[in-house]
Structure formats: structure tokens, C-alpha cells
Amino acid sequence: MVTATADLDQDAKARRGFLLALGAYFLWGLLPFYMKAVAHLPLIEVISHRIVWSVPIAAAVLVWAGRTADFKAAIRSPKSLAMAALTATLISVNWGIYVWAIAVDRTVETALGYYINPLVSVVVGAVLLGERLDRLQIAAVALAAIAVTVLTVEAGKLPWVSLALAFSFAAYGFF
């Protein structure tokens, strides 16, 4: 009986996680339309709004998740504050590139950047964190790398926007 209840709890958590991820990716997919709609605004204004509006939303999530004690502990730690400053800088660079690229009609390069990002994150995990990939995972990464290579060759130039997005987001995730 206990294992059946635990399995139901696990299934409910998995279903909830899937639905939350689906919602997040759906909203993320709509983001370029919004960014294009505000492309006439100065880049710094768009990024500032993203930062300012992120604070109350993040605070609401912390309260909802019951994680305010973690936040209080983090703001008392100079190391945590330094890490927060570093990651805030990295995500601001990422957002700046993204908002600029959408505004100047380089949306496909932004999409490629977020496609490349998991590949960069896998390399960071393997090289810096010592994570090991099994054969199937190596095959998946190789196929994705081949796809990126094909897309880059077809474009005829180095996709610096894509690479900047991928590496800045991977660095943000790492730190």
C-alpha cells in the first residue's frame, strides 16, 4: 500500500513537472513575438524591465515554494552575493544579445543559440564537473553537433550570435 501511494505521488510530481516545463517552453516560444513588438524601445529599457519585473515574480515563487529562509541565508553570505552578481551579469549579457538579435531580425540565430546551449552545457559538465556520458548520450550529442555543423555551413558564416547566447547561458547555468 505504501509503495502504491509513493508511486502515485511520484507520478503526480512527474506529471506536474512535465506540465510546468511545457508551459515554460510554450511561453518561451512566444517570447520572440513579444521582443519583436518592443523592438522599437531602447535595448537597455527592455532589459531593465525584464530585471525589474523578475524581482517580484521571483519573490512570489520563493514565498509560494516556502524557500524564503534560503533567500535570507543567501543575502547574508558574501560568497552567495558575489555569485549572484556574477550570474546576474551573465544573464544580463545573454538577455542583451537576445533582445538585440530579435530586434535586428536575427531570430533564427537566437533559436540556434538555444539549440546549441545544451551541447555547451554537456561539455561544461564533462570537462569542468567530471560527468560521464554513456554511449547513447554520446551518440545524441554527436547527432546534435552534426546538426549544428550543417546549419552553420548552410548559413555560410560563423553564427557568433548563436555561440554568444549558448556560451553565456551555459556559463550562467554553471555558476
This model's pTM is above 0.85: no
Q: Are residues 161 and 108 in the same domain?
A: yes
* Alpha helices per DSSP H over 38-77: 43-65, 68-75
Q: Are residues 108 and 135 in the same domain?
A: yes
What pLDDT was estimated at residue 5?
64
Q: Are residues 25 and 52 in the same domain?
A: no
CA distance 160 to 162: 5
Q: Are residues 24 and 47 in the same domain?
A: no
Domain count, the chain: 2
107 Cβ contact partners less than 8 Å away, ≥ 6 residues apart: 32, 36, 101
Q: Are residues 18 and 80 in the same domain?
A: no
What pLDDT was estimated at residue 89?
93
Q: Are residues 95 and 141 in the same domain?
A: yes
Domain that holds residue 79: 39-174
What pLDDT was estimated at residue 4?
62
Q: Are residues 14 and 79 in the same domain?
A: no
* Cβ atoms of residues 136 and 86 within 8 Å: no
101 Cβ contact partners less than 8 Å away, ≥ 6 residues apart: 107, 109, 110, 161, 165
Helices (H) and strands (E) in the chain, counts: 7, 0
Q: Are residues 59 and 133 in the same domain?
A: yes
Q: Are residues 104 and 148 in the same domain?
A: yes
User: What is the mean pLDDT of each successive set of 10 residues along the chain, which is 175 residues long?
Assistant: 67 88 85 86 88 90 89 91 94 92 90 90 92 92 91 88 95 94
Residue 49, C-alpha cell as written in the block: 524591465
Q: Are residues 7 and 26 in the same domain?
A: yes
Q: Are residues 47 and 11 in the same domain?
A: no
Q: Are residues 99 and 31 in the same domain?
A: no
Q: Directed axis angle between helix 78-103 and helix 160-174, to 10°?
A: 160
CA distance 171 to 175: 6
C-alpha separations of 167 from 51, 59, 110, 164 in Å = 20, 27, 12, 5
